[in-house]
Amino acid sequence: MADTELRASFTTFESSTQQDWALIASQLPATQAMAGENIIAQMRMLARDHGGFPVSRLEHSLQTATRAEEDGRDEEYVLCALLHDIGDTLAPYNHPAIAAGIVKPFVSEANHWMVEHHGIFQGYYFWHHIGMDRNTRDRYADSPYYDYTEEFCAKYDQTAFDADYVSATLEHYEPLIRKFFVPTI
C-alpha cells in the first residue's frame, strides 16, 4: 500500500469525512506505540542538563524513582516519580504540566494530580530562598491529594539531589515506560 493510501485527503477539518477519521483513528495505535520510545529519548536528553543543580536532571529523576521503588511504591507511582520532571528542558516554568499531560491517560487521578502539582509543593523547600512564598501549596489544603503530594515531595523529590546516591539506570526503567505507554485504543 502506498504511503498516500494511509492518509486522509482533506485540506481542512471542515472538509473531512467520516472515512478520513476512520483512517486516522486506525493509525492512532501506531502513533501511541511510538510514545514509549519518544519518552525514553526525552529522558536521555535530561542527562545533558543540570541547570545548576548538583546532579543532572536525568539523575534527579532516576533518584526520585529509585527512592520510590525501594520504598515499595507500585509501578504507576514509580513511573510518575520517574517522569515528574520530564518537561524541565522543554518548559522549565511549566514543567509539571508537561509531565502531567503525558501521564494523564495512563495513571490514577491521585498520581496525575501529584505530578501536576509537585512544582508548587516542591517550592516549600526552597521558595523562601528566592523571595517566594514557600506555603503557596497551602491553597490546595482542601484537595484530597494534598498529603499525598506533600509526601511525594518530602520523601522522594526534594531528597533526590545526592551526587553520591546510587540510583537505578534509565535502562532499568525502560520496560516500565514501555509497559505504560502501549497502544490501548
pTM (2 d.p.): 0.91
**DSSP label at 48?**
G
Contacts of 39 (CB under 8 A, 6+ apart): 83, 86, 102, 177, 181
Is 152 a domain residue? yes
- Classify residue 18: in a domain, yes or no: no
Tens digit of pLDDT for each residue in 76-132? 999 999 999 999 999 999 999 999 999 999 999 999 999 999 999 999 999 999 999
How large is the C-alpha radius of gyration of the chain?
A: 19
- Rounded to an integer, the average pLDDT of 6-31 is 91
Predicted confidence at residue 38, as pLDDT, reads 95
In a domain, 3, yes or no: no
- Continuous segment of H or E residues that includes residue 132: none
Residues 6+ apart with CB under 8 A from 19: none
Give the domain CATH number at 153.
1.10.3210.10
- Cβ contact 109:66 at 8 Å: no
Q: DSSP 3-state assignment of 163?
A: coil
Is residue 137 a part of any domain in this protein?
Answer: yes
Residue 25: per-residue pLDDT? 92
Let me know if residue 2 belongs to a domain: no
Structural domain contains residue 30 = no
Number of domains in the chain: 1
φ/ψ of residue 95, rounded to 5: -60, -35
**25 located within any domain:** no
Distances from the Cα of 97 to the Cαs of 83, 94, 118, 185, in angstroms? 11, 6, 10, 23
Beta carbons of 115 and 77 less than 8 angstroms apart: no
> In which domain, by residue range, is 102 found?
35-180
Mean pLDDT of the chain: 94
- How far apart are alpha carbons 126 and 25 in whole angstroms? 45
